[in-house]
Each structure stands twice: as C-alpha cells, then as structure tokens.
Amino acid sequence: MIQVKQYFNAKHWTFISIAFLIGISTSLSAQTTDSIAGKTVNQIKFQRLLKKKNTVMLDVRTDAEYNAGHIPGAIHVDVLKLENFKNQITDLDKNKSYLLYCKSGKRSSKAKFIMKEMGFKKLKDLKGGYSQWKGKKEVK
C-alpha cells in the first residue's frame, strides 16, 4: 500500500514540476520577445513619449478600424497587409522612436518585431491598444 501511495505522490509532484517549468519557460519566452522587439508601455507613458522630438506614432490596424477612430497624429500602416507594411516601413527613418498601437496589442507586438528585424531600434507599443485608449480620438 505504501509503495502505491509513494508512486502516486511521485507522479503528482512530477506533473506539478513539469507544469511549473512549462509556465516559467513560456513566461520567460514572452519576456524575451518583448525585450528584444521593444517595450509595451501604459497610456500615460505613451502620451508622454508622444511629446518627444523624433517620435512617430503608427496605427497598425485595418483601414476600417482606422477610419472608425484613431489617435490624432497617427500614421496608418496596416500590418495585416504584410508586403505593403514592409514597403511603407522601409521609407521611415530608423533613427527615430516609434510608438505603435492596434486594437488590443497583438498586431502592434507583431509589427514591433517585424520593424526590429528591419533595423529599427526604438520601438514601443501601447498596452491594451486602442480599445483601452482614454485620450482624444479622431474619426477620418
């Protein structure tokens, strides 16, 4: 009976240990990707960075999303139209700082990664994206 109990306890702890390690590696992987491509910042910091010289804001959502409402001053480049996106990004100054946003943060994170691969160094995206934006909005 004791051997069976020990077997199940060992199995239980092995399972917990593996789940814990998977969780840590996933978390570290996400942090590494974020730190490699740039940072995600909250709205207060995003607005403060917008006021800095040599800073450009990019809205990477679809045409329909952008036309329905966007942050004033944003340049629209749809990351889902990948080849178009890359062509438009190629013309931008790689020495400037770029603030990106999408609806929730997933596409802006993808855009940040693509831009990093293309040689851009100063990249940040808006935490929670446009759906969390509490500031001024502009409709096209």
Rounded to an integer, the average pLDDT of 61-69 is 97
Burial of 12-51, coded b for 16+ CB within 10 Å and e otherwise, reads eeeeeeeeeeeeeeeeeeeeeeeeebbebbeeeebbebbe
Task: Give the residue numbers annotated as catalytic, written as ranges.
Answer: 102
Burial of 93-113, coded b for 16+ CB within 10 Å and e otherwise, reads eeeebbbbbbbbbebbbbbbb
Residue 67 has pLDDT above 60, yes or no: yes
Q: What's this model's pTM, rounded to 2 decimal places?
A: 0.74
Tokens of 113: 């990664």
Amino acid letter, 76: H
The share of the chain scoring above pLDDT 70, in percent, equals 75
List pLDDT tens digits, range 11-54: 554 544 444 444 444 443 333 335 577 899 999 999 999 999 99
List pLDDT tens digits, range 76-126: 999 999 999 999 999 999 999 999 999 999 999 999 999 999 999 999 999
Q: Which residue has the tokens 């940072």?
A: 39
